[in-house]
Structure 1
């Protein structure tokens, strides 16, 4: 969910005002006799200041109560426009496509994808387990390019970024893996 600058500023102000009011109440409660504090707070200037600060704090708090309830449900798909209406592609489908393409790369032992929505498209995080004696930097770049272009060609969904995490080395003793010379 995107939080705009105005909402962040209001949340910051609410936090600061709440902190100041909380500290003030603690200090007043700890150092000032109750009778004197009650008499001082009911005087004209203090009464107005107290009401204004309390009102502003209440309004900001109410704003964030409704702000919290307006949250969008968890996004688990992306919409693409089609000739006869919108097309919804589930993140699970995008994950399967990315994993399929990524696991075809030479030197990859295992491949996992995490998808989230970004500002200008999808943000993919690729978790790759590589085979030993592979140029990891070159493989990571190849994975970024291959997965990004494959997803954009097959789904027509823009991919904003592709982050790569090489988690560990795979089992290099297995001779089961067959590599294709084209890397596809």
Structure 2
């Protein structure tokens, strides 16, 4: 569905929702005594309310209608010798997390990938160990992840944004890097 069709569906849904709610309110606003007398002869009030309610429900359904994501939006295409190669964003996230977790001073590492205009835009969320030069580690993470991904996937990386979220736990002996040669 293209953008114009989505816009038309949105406008139609809003109009149908307003009309549906208005019909339900009109159907409910008729005096009960008069409605009981008229319903014995003509059941217009109930029909009006049911039609308005169904119309409003359909409009709500289409207002929140979402198609399944196109797999092309969750991957990137690379030209291969024998045809195109599709690399999923999940694979790129795993590669970036693997390389980023190997950096000294990183307690945990998570990557978010999205498509930019000139390549991928990566957002790195890092927890770092205490007593580490955070700015230097962030620059090292940017360079290491960018070069690693470009080497292994041949996908251009437009930008690498780094967010240092917090200090990591210094009590975990397996991940602690003291910074000394010992």
Taking structure 1 as the reference length, the TM-score comes to 0.60
Structure 1 CA distance for aligned equivalents of residues 120 and 90 of structure 2: 13
Instruction: Give yes or no for contact 2:122–2:159 (8 Å, CA) kept in 1.
Output: yes
**CA distance, structure 2, for counterparts of residue 92 and residue 21 of structure 1:** 44
- Separation of aligned partners in 2, 1:132 and 1:8: 50
Q: Which residue of 2 aligns with 1:124?
A: 122
SS of 1:142 mapped into structure 2: helix
Q: What's the counterpart of residue 177 of structure 1?
A: 177
Query: Are 2:129 and 2:176, in contact at CA under 8 Å, matched by a contact in 1?
Result: no
Alignment match, 2:102: 104
Please state how far the C-alpha of 1:151 moved relative to its aligned partner: 1.0
Unaligned runs of 5+ in 1: 39-56
Pairwise CA distance, 1:170: 1.6
CA distance in 1, matches of 2:6, 2:100: 38
From 58, 70, 85, the equivalent of 1:87 is 85
Distance in 2, matches of 1:70 and 1:126, equals 27
- 2:150 matched to which residue of 1? 152
The count of corresponding residues between Structure 1 and Structure 2 is 155
Q: 1:22 aligns with which of 20, 23, 31?
A: 20
CA RMSD of aligned residues (A): 4.0
Q: 1:133 to 1:179 in 2, by over 3 A?
A: closer
Extract unaligned runs of 5+ from structure 2: 45-54
Deviations 1:140-163 (A, max 9, x none): 343233312321232111234434
SS across alignment from 1:113? strand
TM-score by length of 2: 0.60
Q: Deviations over 1:159-184 (max 9, x none)?
A: 34434333331233548537699xxx
